[in-house]
Amino acid sequence: MTTMVRLEPSGHQFEVETGETILEAGLRAGLPIQYHCSNGTCGECKGIIIQGIALPALHHDYVIKSAEKQAGTVLLCRTTTNQDLVIQANEARSAEDIPQQNIMTRVSKIDVIHDHTLILNLRTPRSHTLRFLAGQHAQLEIKNHLSRIKTIASCPCNGMILQFHFTHNAGDPFTDYIFNKLHTRESVYVSGPFGKVSLEEDDDHPIIFIVYKTGFSMVKSLVELAISWDKAQTMHLFWITDNEAELYYENYCRSWAAVLDDFQYTPFLLNGANKRTDVILMDSLENICDLYPDISRYRVFLNIPRRVEKKGKSMLLGRGVEENLLHMDDIFEYR
């Protein structure tokens, strides 16, 4: 049996499945509900029942004051329902509403795609998951105080599973360790989130993603969030790589294109043996813009190597992209 919950003042609605807490159901729906511990000790996920009756699901140690109880206050992480509800609850509206967090995670899975690409999955404690917005980043710290800020590739609808995509850069101590020494169950210290680029639920601008190599990780998080929102927004992904082997999630992209009515995927393989990579990248951006003479009405997410970001931005603005619709986070990286 499923029931419907509406949050006020946002008006967001989502279904609660049997056995789910209200917080779990809201996060699964991609909603940025305020919470912290998710185990009933901090009180950050307090909400007020405006209509309907909520049911206790799990024990909690947080003490709700008598006056709050009388007003209908509950902990969303410990509460469920068997009827439709209207709840007053706090939701994050921007990156500034997400607190900085520090979590000790463990490596749950390492997928080596080929010699130069790896997907790292981390698992947080059940009692301390990471709150973040799609498109944001986290700092990973491993042994010997090696650290790197990376885009979170997973959806914020499950903050207990964090995914990161890596390109192996010869001579880089961090990626050398990730590719050659890191093992499952090893501890990785995660802090963040950082960055301000994300989707806005009420924005209807069609979207163009232009990413290079593992810059695709940003797209994965944003598209998975859009799917959880059931958005009908037009999206076109241009994934630029040096060769086909680096299109490591191509089947994923093609499945999006098959399932979503308004999603297009175009792989862009760099070619031109007599040109430098940077020159070929700029040629690719020109070619992409040629496909969109009306590009001024699009929201563009650009994640390319930092050494060519300024040139890329200048070229896109010159081709008509509105500056307020061009997203290039300072923390984005393709490595």
Q: What is the pLDDT of residues 63-92, one digit of tens each?
A: 999 999 999 999 999 999 999 999 999 998
CATH code, domain carrying 154: 2.40.30.10
Q: Are residues 106 and 29 in the same domain?
A: no
Domain limits at 162? 96-194
Last residue of a domain, one of 35, 69, 91: 91
Residue 71's closest CA among 88, 45, 44, 48? 48
Question: 294-334, pLDDT tens digit by residue?
Answer: 999 999 999 988 888 899 999 999 999 999 999 987 665 54
Q: Which two tokens stand for residue 203?
A: 């924005």
Q: Is pLDDT above 50 for 335?
A: no
CATH number (domain holding residue 305) = 3.40.50.80
Query: What are the phi and psi torsion angles at 180 (to 5°)?
Result: -110, -20
- The position carrying tokens 């009420």 is 202
| Domains: count for the chain | 3
**Residue 224 to residue 110: CA distance in whole angstroms:** 21
95 falls in which pLDDT band (50, 70, 90)? confident
First vs last Cα of the chain: how many Å apart? 44
Residues 205-233 have a mean pLDDT of 89
Report pTM.
Answer: 0.86
